[in-house]
Amino acid sequence: MLFNSVAFIAGFLPITLAGFHLLKEYGGGRAARLWLLLASLIFYGWWSVPYLGLILVWTITNFWAGRFILGARVANPSLARLLLIAAVMLNLSLLAYFKYAVFISGNISTLVGLDFTLAAVTLPLGISFHTFQQIAYLSDVHRGGVSKYTLSEYLLFVCFFPQLIAGPIVHHAELTPQFHDEKRFRLSQCNFSEGTAFFTIGLVKKLLLADPLSAIATQIFSGSEIVSPGFVDAWLGTIAFGLGLYFDFSAYSDMAVGLARLFGVRLPYNFASPYQSTSIMDFWRRWHMTLSRWLRDYLYIPLGGSRRGASRRYLNLMITMLLGGLWHGPSWTFVVWGGLHGLFLAINHGWHYLVARAGTRGHKLIFPRALGQALTLASVSIAWVFFASASWEVAWGTLSGLFGINGLTLDSKLLPHILDKNLPLLAASIGIVLLAPNSQQLIDGRKFDPHEPQIWPRWHFKMTLRQAALIGTAFACCLSLLGKPKEFVYFQF
Amino acid sequence: MLPTILNRWSDVARLSWASVFGLTVLGWLVFGVGLLGLLEVRGRLAPPPLSATTCIDEKISFLRNRDLSQVRIMAAGSSATWRNLDMSVFGLDPTRALNAAPCFLHIDQTAFLVSLLAEMMPNLQNVITIVAPRDFENCSPQLTQIFDPALGAAFIQRQIPVWLPYVVNMRAPYILRTAITLPNERALNAQDAYGSSPLKQPFSWRPAPVFDERCFVAFKNYSLAMAQRHVRLWIATMPTMPEWAESYDPTGDIIREWTHRLKALSQSGTQIVDGREISFRSEQFADSVHLRSPFHREFSQFVAERSVFSVRLEH
C-alpha cells in the first residue's frame, strides 16, 4: 500500500487513526500499541501475505537473539559475542539471499567462466531498512545499556508502518520509549496539525515535483530513448534525476515523519536541504541522514573510524561508502557511486587537513562558499550518473555527454520537451532546492533548530485557521491527482 | 482561573485547526463531485479514467456495455485495427464479432488487452490484429499495462460501479482537459455497433519507421499466448501508403524486412496476412496508418478472405 494511494489515504489511515484514538482513550496505551502493531502488519501484508510471515519470523528471531545476547552478556561475554556474530551473519545472509544472490552468482559465473545464475527472488519490501535497524539493535544489546523490550514492543519498533518500507532508519532507543510517553503518544490537535502539514508537503513534493521530474530523467537513464546524449541532454537528464530523486525520497520521508507525528511519535528527519551543502561532508550530513548515521555508528566507527591514523581513516571511509553504495542495489554502478563519494569525502578530509596544517603555520586557506557549493553540486551530479544508469553503456554514454564528448547537441531531444512543458517545473525545482527552507524548517522551525534563521517566515507553519484552510486546499488538490500512483524510488532498495 | 480559561481557549483554537482542515478538504471534495455531476449533465464528462486516454477509456466503457460471452471473432490492436477493420464483412452479428481495438496501442499493449479480454470470452476462436510499423516503435515494459488489469477486468465485467474508477484514478487535470475536447473527440471517434470507427477525413500524420526490439519480443509472446489459448491469431500488415513509402521506404526494404521478421516470429496458430498484396492510392488513405472510409471496407474484405474465411473454406 502506497502512502500516495486512495486506499491508504481514504481507507487505511482514517481507520487506523480512529481506532488508535478510541483505544488510547478507552483502552489505554497497551491497547493502542497493539492496535498500531496490528495495523502495521496489515499494511505490510497488503503487499504480500507470505512476506508478512517472513518479516514476522525474521523479527521474532532477532528478538530472541537479542534476549539471549542480553542474558549471556555479563555471565558469558564470549558466548554473547558468538551469538551476536551469528545473529548478524544470519541477517546479512538473508539480505544477501533476497537482494544480492543474482548479483553474486552472476559475478562468480563471470569470474570462473561457468554458466550458472540464480533465478531472481522477489525483494521483500523494506528489507534493507529493517535489516539495518535490527542489526543496530543486536549490536547495542551486546554493547549494553539497552532496555529489555517485550516482544510486542520490539515488533512495533521494527514494523511501525510509517517507517517500515523506506525508513527513516530509526534507532530502537529513539522510537520505543515514545510508545510509552503518555503525554505525547496520543492524537492531539498539535500532533494532528503538524503531522498533516508534513504529510501534505510530502504529497505535494511527490505528485507535483518528483513524478514529472523522474519522467524527464527516465528518457536519459532508461537507456531506451537516447543512448549517447549530448551535452545539453546529459545535463538536463542528470539535473532532473538529482532533483527528482531528492523530491521523491524526501517526500516519502516527510510523509513518514508526518504519519508518525499523527500518532504522537517523532521520527528523525532524513533530509536537510542537501543541495545547499557547501562540501561533500556537509552533503552527507544532510542527505539520507539516518543512513549516514547508521553507517557511521555501525560500520565506520567499528572499523576504527579516524582513531588509527589518517591513512586508515581514508580506507575506512572508502569501505563505508563502497558498502553504502552496494546497500542501494545489487549493481556495480551503485558500488562506483559509493566509491566516488568515498573519494570525494577523502579529498574533503584532505583539504581540512591542509587548512589545519596551514593554520598552525599562520597561513589561512580559504575556499569561497559559493565555489564550495558549486563544486559539491557538480560532484554529486556526476556521481548520480552511476546511481541512475540502467547499465554501464548508459552510464558511460551520459558521462561522456556531461563532458561534451558526444557534442554540444544542437539536436537535443530533451530540450524541446522541457521548453514545451517542463521549464517552469525545472526552474521552480532548482529554486526550491537551492533557496527554500526544508520541511522541518517550515513546520518545526526553531523546535528543529534553535538557530534556524527563519528564512521565508511567512511560509512557516502556524496553527492558524488560514493555514488550516491552505493545507486543506493543498491536500485536496493532491487528492485530485492521485490517479495511477507511482511507487517511491527508494522502495526498490 | 485565568490559566484555565486560556488553556480552554487554546483547546478551542486548536480544535478549530482540525475542523477547518477537515471542512476545507470536504468542501473541495463536494465541489469536485458537483463539478463531475455538472460535466456529466453537459455531456462533457470523460469516460471512467482507467487509462486516462479518452479513446481507450471510451472503448473500455463500450466493452462494459457488451455481452462478451458470445464473441467468436475479436479484432484488437491500435487504431490501425480500430479504424481499418469493418467487422460486418465477417457476416456475423455484433454479439459474435467485435472490434475491441482502441487507439495508440503498441504491440505489447495489444497483447495485454487481448489477454485480459480473452479471459471473458469463452467462445473466442479468432483474433485479428492489423499492424503498422508504428505499432512496433516503443514497447517499454513500464507502459505495457495500459490500465490496472484487476480494476479494468472488474469494470468490464460490471463487478464494480461505474464511478469507482473516478475515485481510485482521479486525475483532475485530465478530466478538465477532456471536458474541453470531448465533443470533438466523440464526433471523430463515433463507433458502429461492432466497435469500429473508420476515418473520413485526411490527416497529415506520416510517422517515420522506428523499431524497438522489445516489440518483436512482445509480438512473439503475443503469438505464443494465443497459441496456448488455442485461439487463431491473424496478423494483417497495413498496406503501404505510396506517399509514405516515397519518404521513408522507396525501395520497400523496410516493410519487406519487417514483414519477414513477423512471419519468422509467428508461432503455430498465427498467420500473417501480407498487406502488400493489396494496394491503395495515397488519396485513399487518411494518413499512413489509416484508410479512409469507404476504402477500409475493401481492405476489410481482403483481410476476411485471407484469414477467417480461408479457414472456413479449408474446413
pLDDT category of residue A484 using cuts at 50, 70 and 90: low
Each residue's pLDDT tens digit, A360-413: 888 888 888 899 999 999 999 999 999 988 788 888 888 888 888 877 765 666
Chain-chain contact of B172 with A481 (C-beta, under 8 angstroms): yes
Chain-chain contact of B14 with A472 (C-beta, under 8 angstroms): no
Average pLDDT score over residue span A86-92? 94
> Taking each helix axis from N to C terminus, what angle separates A151-159 and A49-75, rounded to the nearest 10 degrees?
130
Q: What is the pLDDT of residue B275?
A: 93
Average the pLDDT over each of A375-389, A447-461, B175-189 and give the range with the smallest value: A447-461
Residue A475 reports pLDDT greater than 80: yes
Residue B114 reports pLDDT greater than 90: yes
Chain-chain contact of B21 with A483 (C-beta, under 8 angstroms): no
Average pLDDT score over residue span A80-105? 91
Give the residue, B13 or A25, on which the prediction is more confident: A25
pLDDT category of residue B315 using cuts at 50, 70 and 90: very low
Chain-chain contact of B170 with A476 (C-beta, under 8 angstroms): no
Each residue's pLDDT tens digit, A111-136: 887 776 677 778 888 888 999 999 99
Give the residue, A338 or A417, on which the prediction is more confident: A338
Concatenate the DSSP letters of all residues of A404-450 into one string.
TTT---TT-SHHHHIIIIIHHHHHHHHHHHHHS--HHHHHTGGGT-T
* Closest CB from B15, B32, B52 relative to A480: B32
Rounded Cα distance, A242 and A238, in Å: 6
Interchain contact B173–A (C-beta under 8 A)? yes
Residue A492 reports pLDDT greater than 70: no
| Residue closest to A479 by CA, chosen among A124, A1, A50, A3 | A3
Q: Sheet containing B232-237: which strands, arranged edge to edge?
A: B97-99, B73-75, B126-131, B232-237, B270-273
Average the pLDDT over each of B118-127, B183-192, B276-285 and give the range with the smallest value: B183-192
Average pLDDT score over residue span A284-310? 91
Q: What is the pLDDT of chain B when averaged over all its residues? A: 89
Interchain contact B152–A (C-beta under 8 A)? no
Q: What is the pLDDT of residue A153?
A: 92
Average pLDDT score over residue span B230-252? 94
Average the pLDDT over each of A179-188, A265-274, A378-387, B277-286 and give the range with the smallest value: A179-188
How far is CA A473 from each of CA A201, A257, A432, A470, rounded to the nearest angstrom?
Answer: 12, 21, 21, 5
Average pLDDT score over residue span B3-9? 49
Interchain contact A18–B (C-beta under 8 A)? no
Rounded Cα distance, A65 and A149, in Å: 12
Determine the distance in angstroms separating the CA of A186 from the nearest CA of chain B, rounded to an integer: 15
CB B194 within 8 A of CB B88: yes
Residues of A with catalytic roles: 328
> Taking each helix axis from N to C terminus, what angle separates A189-204 and A465-479, rounded to the nearest 10 degrees?
40
CB B132 within 8 A of CB B209: no
Chain-chain contact of A6 with B18 (C-beta, under 8 angstroms): no
Burial of B125 by CB count in 10 Å (0-12 exposed, 13-18 middle, 19+ buried)?
middle
| Residue closest to B73 by CA, chosen among B56, B57, B103, B94 | B94
Chain-chain contact of A476 with B18 (C-beta, under 8 angstroms): no
CB A414 within 8 A of CB A236: yes
Each residue's pLDDT tens digit, A344-356: 999 999 998 888 8
Q: Which residues contact B34 (CB under 8 A, 6 or more apart)?
A: none
Average pLDDT score over residue span B277-302? 93
Interchain contact B279–A (C-beta under 8 A)? no
Chain-chain contact of B17 with A473 (C-beta, under 8 angstroms): no
Rounded Cα distance, A325 and B228, in Å: 44
Interchain contact A484–B (C-beta under 8 A)? yes
Give the residue, B12 or B58, on which the prediction is more confident: B58
Residue B31 reports pLDDT greater than 80: yes
Rounded Cα distance, B274 and B226, in Å: 19
Q: What is the 3-state secondary structure (H, E, C) of A119-184?
A: CCCCCCCCHHHHHHHHHHHHHHHHHCCCCCCCHHHHHHHHHCHHHHCCCCCCCHHHHHHHHHCCCC
CA of A481: which chain B residue's CA is closest?
A: B171
Q: What is the pLDDT of residue A485?
A: 54
Torsion of Cα atoms, B258 then B260 then B266 then B272, to 10°:
90
Average pLDDT score over residue span B84-103? 93
Average pLDDT score over residue span B255-259? 95
Residue B36 reports pLDDT greater than 90: yes
Residue that has been written with the C-alpha cell 587548512 in this structure: A355
Rounded Cα distance, A112 and B80, in Å: 51
pLDDT category of residue A330 using cuts at 50, 70 and 90: confident
Average pLDDT score over residue span B44-63? 92
Average pLDDT score over residue span A50-74? 92
Residue B312 reports pLDDT greater than 70: no
Interchain contact A192–B (C-beta under 8 A)? yes
For a pLDDT cut of 90, what percent of chain A falls above it?
53
Strand partners, B273: B236
Concatenate the DSSP letters of all residues of B135-202 into one string.
GGS---GGGS-SS-HHHHHHHHTT-S-TTHHHHHT--HHHHHHHHHHHHHHHHHT---TTS---B-S-
Average pLDDT score over residue span A32-54? 93
Average the pLDDT over each of A73-77, A384-388, A417-421 and give the range with the smallest value: A417-421
Average pLDDT score over residue span A154-180? 91
pLDDT category of residue B215 using cuts at 50, 70 and 90: very high
Residue B310 reports pLDDT greater than 70: no
Q: What is the pLDDT of residue A416?
A: 73
Q: What is the pLDDT of chain A when averaged over all its residues? A: 88
Determine the distance in angstroms separating the CA of B294 from the nearest CA of chain A, rounded to an integer: 38
Chain-chain contact of B170 with A480 (C-beta, under 8 angstroms): yes
pLDDT category of residue A306 using cuts at 50, 70 and 90: confident
CA of A5: which chain B residue's CA is closest?
A: B168
Q: What is the pLDDT of residue A74?
A: 84
Q: Is omega for the bond preceding B198 within 30 degrees of 0, making it cis?
A: no
Q: What is the pLDDT of residue B5?
A: 46
Q: What is the pLDDT of residue A4?
A: 85
Concatenate the DSSP letters of all residues of B15-32 into one string.
HHHHHHHHHHHHHHHHHH
* Closest CB from B13, B21, B171 relative to A483: B171
C-alpha cell at B206: 506520416
Range among A282-291, A437-446, B133-142 with highest mean pLDDT value: A282-291
Which B-chain residues 4-33 have CB contacts (< 8 A) with chain A?
11, 13-25, 27-29, 32
Q: What is the pLDDT of residue A461?
A: 81
CA of A464: which chain B residue's CA is closest?
A: B17
* ipTM above 0.85 for this complex: no
Residue B245 reports pLDDT greater than 50: yes
CB A141 within 8 A of CB A116: no
pLDDT category of residue A225 using cuts at 50, 70 and 90: low
